[in-house]
Chain A
Amino acid sequence: MLGMWTFLITEVLFFGGMFAAYAVYRNMYPDAFASTSKFMDVVLGGTNTAVLICSSLTMVLAVRAAQLSKRAHLILFLILTMIFGTIFLVIKGFEYHSKWVEHLVPGFDFQYDEPRYQHNAQILFFLYFAMTGMHALHMVIGLGLLTFLLVQAKRRIFNENYFAPVEMIGLYWHFVDIVWIFLFPLLYLIGHRR
């Protein structure tokens, strides 16, 4: 368990590098930043936030079921968590697709409708893709870990004396949720009324 917490610290600092870059560029180019926010879909972002929070609830319920040796509940909640996680990724995929259609993917024929912000907006969109992309990558890894848990749960490996893997992967899942809790306001909300 301590190992997982230590690992999460490294994750905090891994994302921390990008948050630092975000802070620097947001304050270096506040106007370009404000202009990008009209491309951020608050409804989709907000929905995704809610979806992730739901998945966190089902995850913690799965841990609880494992602690109580309720195997059927454990499997149910693991599957629910995976469904929520998949919904999140699908919605994210739609967002990425619309950015692609609007030529807003940095480095790939990036076209911005306000030429004076062409370069600065590209950096900010790059940060958007880097941060959410890295987050999505963590979600995919999380789904893989949940699949592993599901197989083990079906094999009746977990009981009230042995549920550490469920707890650990739960910690990881909640951490990924926390990252999104910060990404959502920083990328979607701040400045979209400027």
Chain B
Amino acid sequence: MSAFHVPIPKVGTLVAVWATLIVLTGLTSYVSYFELGEWNIVVALLIAVTKASLVAWVFMGVRHSTTLTRLFCVAGLAWLMILILLTYSDYSTRNWTYQAQPWSTNKAAGTSR
């Protein structure tokens, strides 16, 4: 199959990536004990994205893969984003309408913040 010409990864690289992943896991757990407000979620997600990228890039061999495989990866993520962002756009803009009609704000209070 397509894998014949893939260079065999060095053990050192793999172990280094593994160590980085473990350190990042510790870091994200540690940071979560601090109150950073909205930044908690940002930091946690940034670290998670970094870790996932490392796994994909090295362990799953995307760094040596064809353009086509990379395109498929990007497409998977893009469609995930379409799903989440467009769905979320509904929920994030519902209250805009409520603000335009102050009399309904109290009714909506149970569901909004």
Contact = CB atoms under 8 A, between A and B. Distances in A.
Do A and B touch (CB < 8 Å)? yes
Interface in B29-54: 29, 32-35, 40-41, 44-45, 47-48, 51-52
Contacts of B76: 8-9, 12-13
**Interface residue tally on A, bucketed by range:** 35 or more
B48 A182 contact: yes
Interface in B58-90: 58-61, 68-69, 72-73, 75-77, 79-80, 83-84, 87-88
Contacts of B75: 9
B84 A6 contact: no
Contacts of B79: 9, 12-13, 16
Interface string B69-113: 100110111011001100110011000000000000000000101
B60 A64 contact: no
B41 A181 contact: no
A46 B55 CA distance: 17
Interface residues of B, number: 53
A64 B69 contact: no
Contact of B9 (A27, A31, A64): A64
Contacts of A8: 76
B25 A59 contact: no
A36 interface: no
Given A30-B113, A185-B28, A190-B32, 11 more contacts: A27-B92, A56-B18, A57-B14, A67-B8, A167-B61, A170-B59, A184-B25, A184-B48, A185-B47, A193-B32, A193-B35
